[in-house]
Structure 1
């Protein structure tokens, strides 16, 4: 399956909330892979900036991304994120014109 949409984003939480965030984030990632048709959905904590989580995602279409954003597991995650003190959220979707190995 070829990606036509790439998403890059960040979430920032108070560092003392990260243990709780991780538990719920794992459920989000698992549900996304299981149900939403993503090609890749990668999440990582920034080792140099405590509380910062980086996302990189590949989707086969804008429609698939839109379905993901409306999926049943998204709103519970958003509720948990707010409860854990979400401080910043930035995501940008890019159209993928072509890919090549580098």
Structure 2
């Protein structure tokens, strides 16, 4: 079922250190400061680990 206004974002990161570095960037600080101005009222972040991937 679709949730109106729900946006799902999936990203792939090389490792935890790369993800941690991403969260320390200036553009992420700016986004976090401004996301309420765009109507974003909530965000939930989850990390999933995969052992491998392959094209289908």
Q: What TM-score does the superposition give when structure 2 sets the normalisation length?
A: 0.77
Question: Deviation of residue 75 (structure 1)?
Answer: 1.1
Number of equivalences: 55
- Give the one of 88, 94, 97 matched to 2:42: 88
Indicate the structure with greater strand content. Answer: 1
Instruction: Provide the residue aligned with 2:16 in structure 1.
Output: 62
Gaps of 5+ in 1: 1-47
Q: What TM-score does the superposition give when structure 1 sets the normalisation length?
A: 0.47
Structure 1: which 4+ aligned runs deviate by more than 4 Å? Answer: none
RMSD, aligned CA = 1.6
**Larger RCO, structures 1/2 (Cα 8 Å, 6+ apart):** 1
